[in-house]
Structures are given as C-alpha cells and as structure tokens.
Chain A
Amino acid sequence: MNAQLFALAMFDGIAYAALVFMVAVGLTLIFGVLRILNVAHGSFYAIGAYTAASIGGAIFAAGFSPWLAFPLLFVAAALVGILLGGPIERLLLRRIYAKEDALQLLVTFAVFMILEDVQRLVWGVQPYFEATALQQLGNLEVLGVFYTKYQLIFLPIVAVIVLIGLRLFLRRTLSGKLILAVTEDRETATAMGIDADKVYLLTFIVGAALAGFGGALASATTSVVPGMGADMIVLSFAVVATAGLGQIEGAAVTALLIGLGRSFAVYLMPELEVLIPYLIMLLVLLVRPEGLFGAVRTRKI
C-alpha cells in the first residue's frame, strides 16, 4: 500500500466517520440520560433523510435557490426532533422508565417497526435522491482523484462543530448542565430538584434531532431507500458500546476508528469490510469491558 492509497483511505474513512458519528452521538446522548438504548434511532435517521430529500426535491423543482439545501438540513433535523422525538418521549417512553431494560428496548423496537411502515406509507418505496447540497459545493481533486467537497470537507467540519457545540451546550448552558447532571447521577440530580421529565424530553428531542440531522446530511450522498435505518442503527450500537455508554467524545473517537478501519479494509481486504465495526467492538470490550471511555462502577455493599 503506497502513500497515495493510504491518503485516499484516510480521506474516505474520515468522511464516513463523520456521518456515523452524527447518528451515534444522538444515541449515546439519549442513553446517557434516559438509560434507554433507542432502536427507533435508526428510523429517525431514515426519516431525517427522507424529509430533507423530499422537501428539497419539491422546493428546488419549484425554482428556489439551491443554497436553501443547507438550511434545509436543520429544518429536517428540527422536524424529526420536535414532531417525532417529542411525542414519542412524552406519550410512550415516559410510561416505561420504571420497566426493565429489555422491555424498554422492545418498546423502541416496536416504534422502529411501526416507523418502518410509516416511512413506506408516506414516502413509498422508490429511492429518493436529492444531492443539491453536494453539487453546490463542487469537487476537489486530491492526488488525481476527485472528491466532493461536501464529503471531504463539509461533513467532517460539521461533525467537529457538532462535537464542540455539544460540549459547549452541555458544559456552558443551564439546560446542558442539567442534562449532564442527570447523566452523571440520576438519583442525586432528581433529589436536588431537577425536573427530570423536562431533561428527558429535551434530551430525547436533541438526540432525535441529531439522528435526523445525520440522515439529512447523508441524504445528499446516498439514495434514500426503505431499510436504510436498520443498518445504521446496528452500526451506531457498535459505536456507542465501543465508546462506552453515554460517552460523547468517545463516540467521536470510535466513529473515526470504525470509519478508518472500514476504508482501510476496502483497500486491503474488502471481505472484512462489514466485519470491521464488530471486530473493533469485540476487541475493545475484551480489553476494556466498559468501553473505551466508560468508567467502572462498583456497587456499594
């Protein structure tokens, strides 16, 4: 493997990692606070992609400026967070916080199944493709290979902004601090009078919106097809578990690890490509059972 291929694999890996991170970070945020592994997160991702692609298709066909594709990403994220995330947390998840892990997970699994069909009823089964955002930014030639600026530059920058933004939000704003307090010690936080209901709702909306945002970002680079959520969710699980549950920076590092692992596999051993995320997860957890960034908690007796 020469230097050129090495560099190419790096670029590909980073662009891919940026997308994976966007979805995984929402999942880990939700887990940190609600202690629920949300299977429906994959649906939020898919619906975000569908929303961006279908609205984009409509407004660009009507002759609006293609630059609207960028604000549209946020609109799609907000729609997913508020219209889907909000009601699901309020009407459904709120009723199951007291139940066992397995039941909670199954509830989100049920939501996932329902949303899969909702997607098909709303958007049909034909693939959507809406790459205006990507085309607006154009291409870039690196080492004789054309990359889209969207994937090579825009996506990684957005991922870094989201990472820094989340850090600032969690550490500098009141809502963020409340979320962090609940993540670190739920009992104490609620005992101190933090309105856990509000924190849960806010977290879930933000988490869902991040998944929707990830989907909207991805929609410019891929066909939006039925079933795209199912694959993404398993990948995000792997990222979240490898990183350590609830670890936001960890999710970034792991996403990068998995993204690079995958692209190097394509160059070196294509057969291993799909196995990479799981192999990384197994290896990490063998050595660090709590995940890369997870902390050991000893029970007080």
Chain B
Amino acid sequence: MSAQVLLETRGLDIRFGGVVAADQVDVEIHEGRNLAIIGPNGAGKTTFLNICTGYTKPNAGSVHFCGREITRRSPRQITRLGVARAFQMPQLFAEHSALENLLIAASARDRRWAPFTRLGDVPERDEMMHLLELVDCAHVAERAVNELPEGQRKLIDIAIALALKPKLLLMDEPTSGVASSEKFGVMDILTRALAEAKVTSVFVEHDMGIVEKYADEVAVWASGAVQLRGTPAEILEHPDVIRDVIGEEV
C-alpha cells in the first residue's frame, strides 16, 4: 500500500480485572483510507479508541501518530496533533446551542481565547455555519443541544470533531441511536463532509450494510485483538466473520 501511515499501534495490551480489552494489538491506519472496526460487544473496540486518544493508558505497547510517539499523551495533546474523536454517546456542551458548541470547538482549534470578544462574533462563525449545513443541522443552529433528537446530537458531535480540522477522525458508532431508515442518510452526509475536509476516518460500526458501503478497509475485533483485516468485500464474505460477527448482528 502506497498511502502514508497516519496512526500505528504496536503490541497494545490492557486488561480490566479479568477482561482482556487489548491483547497485542498492532494496527496501521493509512491516510485517505477509511477504516471500519467491527466485532462483538466487549471485543475492545471502544478501548482501542480510548487508547489511541489517550483516555486510557495501555499496560504495554505504543501508539504512534505521524511517526510521533503519543502513547502516554493526554487526549488534549493528541487532539492538538490532529486526532479528533466522536463518541458513542454524543459528548456535547449541554447548556449551549448547536452553533455555540461548534464555535467553542473552532475557538479551541485556533487558540482564540479573546476575553472580550463575544463567542457569537468570532471570525470562525461563517465556517461553522457552513459545517452545520454540511451535516444538515443548520436549521437547529440556535437550539440548545440537549433539546435535539439523538440523530442530530450525533451529527453535531461529529461536526465538533470536524471543526478541529483533524487529520484523523475516530468515530465510535456514528449511526447508533439513529433510526435505521436514516442511517444511510446520515452516513452520506458524513462521508461528504469528511471528503470535503480531507479527513481520514476510523469508525466502529455494527451495521454491515454501512460498513460495506462506506469503508475502504475493515478490521475485525474479537477478544481484544484484530482477528482479520481486509477490504469490505473480503471481510464480509469470510466465513468466520459471517459466523461470529454478522451472525450475531443479524
């Protein structure tokens, strides 16, 4: 593969009590190739994202981003290097409106503390409105985020991550909580937005239809380790996957 390696983990290992959440995980994520992570619950998918973003510290192993070691850095430092994250449960600023959530993110990105400028007047406002349009949430820009339906909250959560203009975006089940009829709509919006922003994405996903349509590569997780990796076509036809993963999901 010619694409440059963005993120690379070597020998990640962690366990909680008796549960093995990561066991010798070696993963490479390549620029421009969207990776879907699939696998049964408890396989360690979220833990993988937590380790990559510094929220959980591994017992052993290393994480490199763009060639730089980030294993024991904090989420904040890793974010500043260009890794953004969207969450399974949207992590929003509950008392702020959708637009304000994005404006805070944009101010954070640009280090704009500006103690006497109103948040609503920062120069990134137009850019953020555009981002809201991109995720199809412009019409709820002024609404408080805790009043919005889950689907829109997920999109805003992702938009916050996109607002940081990351090189790599890690998404934990972007379509969970979204009505199944809307999932493809949401993913269409997202893919468009990701493409426009030239962001590589990694997403944890349970819906194989989504994986098939939107992923460039798939990694199958089980018992804290990557069991298989390949293109969606290869993976989704693999008998083990059909038995252990898809079987469970259907």
Contacts and interface: CB of A to CB of B under 8 A. Distances in A.
Direct contact of A and B (CB under 8 A): yes
Interface of A: 301
B87 interface: yes
B91 to A, nearest CB: 6
Interface in B14-42: none
Contacts of B88: 301
B17 to A, nearest CB: 13
B74 to A, nearest CB: 14
A301 B88 CA distance: 7
Contacts of A301: 50, 55, 87-89, 91
Interface string B30-67: 00000000000000000000100001000000000000
A301 B87 CA distance: 7
Please report whether the interface of chain A is mostly helix, strand, loop or mixed according to DSSP. Answer: loop
A119 B158 CA distance: 58
Contacts of B50: 301
Interface string B73-113: 00000000000000111010000000000000000000000
A98 to B, nearest CB: 16
Interface in B208-249: none
A301 B85 CA distance: 11
**A-B residue pairs, 6 tightest by C-beta:** A301-B87, A301-B91, A301-B55, A301-B89, A301-B50, A301-B88
A151 B55 CA distance: 51
B72 to A, nearest CB: 16
A301 B46 CA distance: 9
6 contacts: A301-B50, A301-B55, A301-B87, A301-B88, A301-B89, A301-B91
Contacts of B87: 301
Contacts of B91: 301
Contacts of B55: 301
A301 B91 CA distance: 8
Interface string B137-175: 000000000000000000000000000000000000000
A204 to B, nearest CB: 31
Nearest to A300: B89
A246 B88 CA distance: 31
Nearest to B172: A301
A301 B75 CA distance: 13
B119 to A, nearest CB: 23
A301 B173 CA distance: 12
B171 to A, nearest CB: 13
B96 to A, nearest CB: 18
A258 B218 CA distance: 59
Nearest to A301: B87
A301 B171 CA distance: 12
A20 B88 CA distance: 46
A301 B172 CA distance: 10
A295 to B, nearest CB: 14
B45 to A, nearest CB: 13
A149 to B, nearest CB: 49
Nearest to B56: A298
B78 to A, nearest CB: 14
Nearest to B89: A301
A204 B242 CA distance: 56
Nearest to A299: B55
Interface string B179-205: 000000000000000000000000000
Nearest to B87: A301
A301 B157 CA distance: 13
A145 B87 CA distance: 67
Nearest to B91: A301
A299 to B, nearest CB: 9
